[in-house]
Amino acid sequence: MRSLFKLVVLATCLFGSLPSEAIPSKDCAYRVKERISPPRGWVKHGDAPADRKISLKFALPQSKFGELEKHLYEVSDPDHERYGQHLSKEEVEELVAPHPESLDTVNDWLASLGFTEEDIVRSSAQDWITIKIPISMAEQILHAKYHVWKHVESGDYIVRTTSYSLPETLHEHIELVQPTTMFGRFKPEKSNIFKATPLPDFPAASKSEGVISAASGVTVDASCNQIITITCLQQLYNAVGFTPSAKGNSVGITGYLEQFANMQDLQSFFADQRPDALNSSFEVVSVAGGLNNQSLAEAGDEANLDVQFAFGISHPISPTFFTTAGRPPFIPDLDEPADDDENEPYTTWLDFMLSHPNPPLAISTSYGDDEQTVPFSFAQRACAGFAQLGARGVSLMFSSGDGGVGDGDPDPATQTCITNDGRNLTKFIPGFPASCPFVTSVGGTSHIPEVAVSTFFSGGGFSNFFPRPSYQDKDVKAYLAKLPKGLYAGLFNPNGRAIPDVSAQSDLFKVFIGGRAFLIGGTSASSPSFTGFVALLNDVRLKAGKSPLGFLNPFLYSKGFAGLNDITSGNNAGCGTPGFNASKGWDPGNASFSAVTGLGTPNFGILKKLVLDSH
């Protein structure tokens, strides 16, 4: 009876009113759930096509997320008795499942709108509900007005609203609805990558004697200051001669926006840098209809860079490339079919991975955007998804971004540092998802000896969304204490989650694209490279009968720092400032951290001993 009454109430809120004595007025009131100012750089182009369909996603509150977070930190803390005792998929889903009242309330509302169970797609944990509907219906049920918006600089178009509402009775049962206020641009040029340059345009590598890396003390061939290969990284990070052999290990790369990893190019790369891997390949997994175009003309620079170095370093660990159907640019002036193409593909991949029974144990993602282009509610919910994977034993690496402390534009002449909230304040611009505290953010270095990569390159700084996690307290507080008093006051959030956590080489990588060799760079090179070494560390643990590393950061900041090379020079300039400087460790007994390179670059020879010393 209660459920039937609730259904009548919700239906009345949408389509008419019953006598006031039958239903209290508050039950029928719509209230704004989220409202944003039109983001800087976007202008209204016109009304959204009414018959165009979107996949509207409703996030229900995850009733026991606090308990999940507690589990995550316990199983990720090398000093805790539960270290490495990761949760199963089913255990995680039980913790994030919505409260039955929330599920009933939202189900009743959808039923009042005429939706049947066949019309609804539910996540494995029941915490996301998706319906595919015309924009006209979305406008009706959300009391919203969708428009076509144009990004002035790029010319891209998307369909979004700047405000939506829900019946007041639903506010506590729905955390957010998307696509609505999400204006992020996960475009190839925003995937934290510098342009690819044909190799013949560069001078031939030097044949001089080896040089010594001051950070780790290992000998590295001098040619690595001109061209980075797998051999260079093995030398620099002290992994020469190590061959993984444990069963059950795996490594993954994410691909978006029709960036295809070409298998013929991979063979050229293996022939050049990893001949023992010739004729091996990787599994391609399509997410939501993602394509796998193997034409050399369609080979993606980002995708090829990622798979060639991550899989080349970790060979023969089982590799997977995820090709996720993207959000092709909306073209408002064409008579396109009324199909769905307006969702953010990143959460499509995340939903898929959370439902996957056996995700790869180490995954790298080289895509990101300015944190401020992502609604806080969306960022929180995506970050909670990363926590779920971490609790299951998955290590997630993300590029920290390019462009220093600015907006990702590597050109200082066009870089901006203006807030996107309508106030137009000058601020450093952190990146997302790198700012999520449940992932490992990877910054960039260059040259040998290593320095923080060149000006306007490696992203870093402090989140405006997420507070500093406890595992960073000691090190980041000490770093901030060494900054000149008042430096950049008001330009960054000193209490925010600091990024990056670690770094790796990120420039002059030799990659094969479309049958030709290129040199390429960006923190999208450092993330897959670091991930390759994480996969090797997982091999060490699995071979010893131990669990995979999972969420890395508590280990890195407590014990793992001893296996990281301290980077003491360089900076990440931007916003008309020198940005943050790399700095020498302030206490030999503690980790050193900088808002440019994090804790430093990997020394695999030491790390493989440290990961065995943990439970």
Q: Is there a catalytic annotation at residue 371?
A: no
Catalytic residue among 306, 407, 501, 539: 306
Q: Give the H/E segment covering residue 101.
A: helix 100-112
Residue 162, helix vs strand vs coil: coil
Q: Are 564 and 443 spatial neighbours (Cβ–Cβ below 8 Å)?
A: no
**Residues contacting residue 1 through CB under 8 Å, at least 6 positions apart:** none
Q: Is there a catalytic annotation at residue 306?
A: yes
Residue 178, strand partner residues: 57
Listing DSSP states for 53-83 in one string gives EEEEEEEPP-TTHHHHHHHHHHHH-TTSTTT
Q: Are 566 and 585 spatial neighbours (Cβ–Cβ below 8 Å)?
A: yes
Catalytic residue among 127, 221, 265, 302: 302
**Residues contacting residue 319 through CB under 8 Å, at least 6 positions apart:** 250, 251, 252, 253, 282, 283, 307, 310, 311
Catalytic residue among 524, 526, 592, 614: 524
**Residues contacting residue 448 through CB under 8 Å, at least 6 positions apart:** 211, 213, 220, 222, 224, 225, 236
Q: Are 426 and 575 spatial neighbours (Cβ–Cβ below 8 Å)?
A: yes
3-state secondary structure 305-334: HHHHHHHHHHCCCEEEEEEECCCCCCCCCC
Sign of CA dihedral 535, 430, 433, 63: positive
Report d(CA 460, CA 297) in Å as an integer. 34
Q: Tokens for 188, please give them.
A: 């190839």
Q: Tokens for 559, please give them.
A: 């014990």
Beta-strand ranges (E) seen in 104-258 are 120-122, 128-134, 147-151, 157-160, 163-167, 176-178, 197-198, 211-212, 219-220, 250-255
Q: Report residue 98: phi and psi, to 5°.
A: -70, 155
Q: Report residue 382: phi and psi, to 5°.
A: -65, -40
Q: Are 566 and 217 spatial neighbours (Cβ–Cβ below 8 Å)?
A: no
Active-site residue set: 302, 306, 524
